[in-house]
Amino acid sequence: MSDHDHSHGHRPPAPMVEEISDFEILEIAVRELAIEKGLFSADDHRRFTEFAESIGPLPAARLVARAWLDPEFKKRALEDGVKASLEVGVNWLDPTGFGTPSDYTDLRVLEDTPTVKHVVVCTLCSCYPRPILGHSPEWYRTPNYRRRVVRWPRQVLSEFGLQLPPEIDVRVEDSNQKCRFMVLPMRPAGTEGWTEDQLAEIVTRDCMIGVALPHPDRKVDDKRPVHPAVNPVHH
């Protein structure tokens, strides 16, 4: 044990928000009342909280990377998304034994080809394959995205920095029922000889929604600030 190097093990405590906001209070109050009225149990709530804390995009990235490397796995993933999810550690039946009320248990993997680019949306409410891809980003939930990408997909994609030539067909998947979708994008050039881990690192969330293409130099999605509508809808 060295006593000459004080930098080891002496990290300053992480900053914390010291005050309690009215929003925090509201969340607690709503939850407590709902439980007292029997709308759901504390147990249910705890189970769903743990679930919410456990999900993220890494398993989906791994599914894509593995599909790129293993043609048999890719076949399995395209045939039965829920079964293939188990191979990357995701059980769509969690946390209730029959899935969540919002996500259901029918994942479909949409394979991009040299001539077809998929992009996923849910115009009606923002359904998203959360068990394997984590929480949906705010922009995905906005009416701005949902209403425009079905009709002006190329314009919306170009706002995300994705310009597609006319030789590539754009296919929008409007996820309006129980099926949930993720995109299996094409493997980019410049990744020859990469391992599954290395490949998974460049498959970001936006690539699996379909608004970005994986790139050997990018491991993080670009920031997507949400702007108020230029032409807001007035009721």
Partner 1 sequence: MDKADKEKTGEYEEHVRSAKYSVPESWSSPDTTPIGLLEEVKKEGRVWEELAEEYGVANPNPPWKTSLFATMEALSGCSGGLSTYDRRASEDELAETVYQDVPYPERELLALAHTMLRRGLVNEEELAQRMKQVEERLNSA
Partner 2 sequence: MTKRSHHAEIATGKGDPQCFSNTTSAPSKFKVGDKVRIKELPDIFYTRTQVYTRGAVGEVAVVTHESPAPEDESWDNTDHSEWFYIVRFRQKDLWPEYPDCYANDTLQTEFSERWLEAVK
- Please identify, using beta-carbon distances, which residue of 45 and 108 lies nearer to partner 1: 45
Query: Which option in partner 2, partner 1, none does residue 49 bind, with CB closer than 5 to 8 A by kind?
Result: partner 1
Build a one-symbol-per-residue string for 52-71: x at contacts with partner 1 by CB under 8 A, - elsewhere.
xx------------------
In angstroms, rounded to a whole number, what is the distance separating the alpha carbons of residues 126 and 138?
10
Q: Which residues of 9-44 are buried (b: 16+ CB within 10 A; e: fewer)?
A: eeeeeeeeeeeeeeeeeeeeeeeeeeeeeeeeeeee
Q: Which of 41, 54, 125, 158 is catalytic?
A: 125
Q: Which of 97, 110, 227, 120 is nearest to 172 (CA)?
A: 120
Active-site hit among 127, 136, 179, 207: 127
Q: What is the distance between the alpha carbons of residues 98 and 95, in angstroms, rounded to a whole number?
A: 8
* CA distance to 6, 58, 183, per residue, from 24 (Å): 38, 29, 36
3-state secondary structure of 173: strand
Catalytic residue at 207? Answer: no
Q: If you search the block for the tokens 């149990």, which residue do you land on?
A: 41
125 among known catalytic residues: yes
Near partner 1 in 98-127, by CB under 8 A: 100-102, 123-126
Residues found near partner 2 in the complex (CB under 8 A): 82, 92-93, 96-99, 104-106, 108, 123-124, 150-151, 153-154, 166, 169-179
Residues found near partner 1 in the complex (CB under 8 A): 14-34, 37, 39-41, 44-49, 51-53, 96, 100-102, 123-126, 135, 138, 141, 143, 146-147, 150-151, 226, 231-233, 235
